[in-house]
């Protein structure tokens, strides 16, 4: 399974970076191949200063070795070895009317000291973080997410949408990071789903990403904007940074397992503001976004 999934994310990375380069029309992805001390490595691809994308990364990694003591405590296991592979992406467009997007699809195995697999699971999801709310974009993104879920289990979309709203939440701000999507983790074999079934589900979600995001980018990338729109985008990016550095489990795992710092922190946008005690004008488009972030919406039935 680990070889099968790793081959899948290798191909998916190629598909995603090729389409994003075509949409941008100016910038291309810089590639770094890296090795992890302790076992494994990855292929980082970063795009910067494009016509459409100000900064973004589409990264894959496959790392293995002894599970660090800090993560043994987290997983409540003893001295075990692990393998983890996945694709993680974050795209920060230049135009404030184009949303930031994040996605991740991953697979994890844990072994005893004889090499026997003692646990394995899939995780991942995809979520949208707009700076200005266009309801048709939100509905489109969630419709694609729901379609991918409905092809596997009828209750997946509602369950994983709720988990997304709950996970990507800045509790210290009492607001969501964005308008959600899907989030799932610790997807293990059970009476309903084999690991092969989970593989089919996770890869269908991965395959749906470009269909969910690309039409939104193409619809918004050439909209004219003013400096006030850009300022709001940078303030909201600050909230994005807060989530990634305070709450995100992927960042925590990467830092505690000796991951590559540049790849882990590539999700941070290049231009950000923290304005003291900032509040948007009541009734404004900016306030409309905050209302939705504080009260998650069911975008599709």
Residues forming the active site:
102
Cα–Cα distance list, 284 to 47, 160, 179, 237, 295 (Å): 32, 31, 18, 19, 17
What is the C-alpha radius of gyration for the chain, rounded to an integer number of angstroms?
19
* DSSP assignment string, 145-187: HHHHHHTT-TTHHHHHHHHHHHHSEETTTTEESSSEEEEEEEE
Choose among 121, 111, 37, 125: nearest CA to 85: 121
Both structure tokens of 96: 């404030």
Beta pairing partners, 262: none
Task: Note whether 107 and 264 are within 8 A (CB).
Answer: no
d(CA 298, CA 301) in angstroms, rounded, equals 7
Cα separations in angstroms, 113 against 3, 69, 79, 108: 21, 15, 8, 17
| Angle formed at CA 35 by CA 31 and CA 40, multiple of 5 degrees | 115
């Amino acid at each position: 399974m680990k070889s099968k999934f790793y081959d899948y994310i290798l191909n998916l990375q190629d598909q995603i970076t090729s389409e994003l380069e075509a949409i941008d029309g100016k910038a291309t992805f810089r590639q770094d191949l890296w090795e992890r001390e302790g076992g494994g490595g990855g292929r980082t691809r970063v795009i910067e200063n494009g016509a459409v994308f100000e900064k973004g990364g589409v990264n894959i990694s496959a790392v293995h070795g002894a599970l660090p003591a800090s993560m043994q405590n987290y997983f409540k296991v003893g001295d075990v070895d692990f393998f983890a592979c996945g694709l993680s992406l974050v795209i920060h467009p230049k135009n404030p009317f184009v949303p930031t997007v994040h996605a991740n699809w991953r697979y994890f195995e844990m072994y005893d000291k004889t090499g026997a697999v003692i646990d394995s699971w899939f995780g991942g999801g995809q979520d949208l973080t707009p700076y200005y709310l266009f309801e048709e974009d939100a509905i489109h993104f969630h419709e694609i997410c729901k379609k991918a879920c409905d092809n596997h289990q009828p209750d997946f979309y509602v369950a994983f949408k709720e988990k997304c709203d709950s996970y990507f939440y800045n509790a210290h701000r009492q607001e969501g990071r964005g308008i959600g999507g899907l989030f799932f983790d610790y997807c293990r074999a059970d009476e309903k789903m084999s690991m092969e079934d989970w593989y089919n589900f996770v890869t269908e979600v991965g395959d749906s990403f470009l269909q969910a995001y690309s039409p939104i980018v193409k619809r918004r990338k050439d909209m004219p904007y003013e400096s006030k729109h850009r300022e709001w985008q940078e303030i909201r990016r600050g909230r994005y940074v807060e989530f990634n550095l305070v709450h995100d489990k992927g960042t925590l795992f990467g830092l505690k397992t000796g991951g590559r710092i540049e790849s882990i922190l590539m999700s941070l946008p290049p231009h950000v503001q923290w304005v003291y005690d900032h509040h948007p004008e009541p009734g404004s488009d900016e306030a409309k976004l905050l209302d939705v972030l504080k009260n998650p919406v069911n975008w599709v039935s």
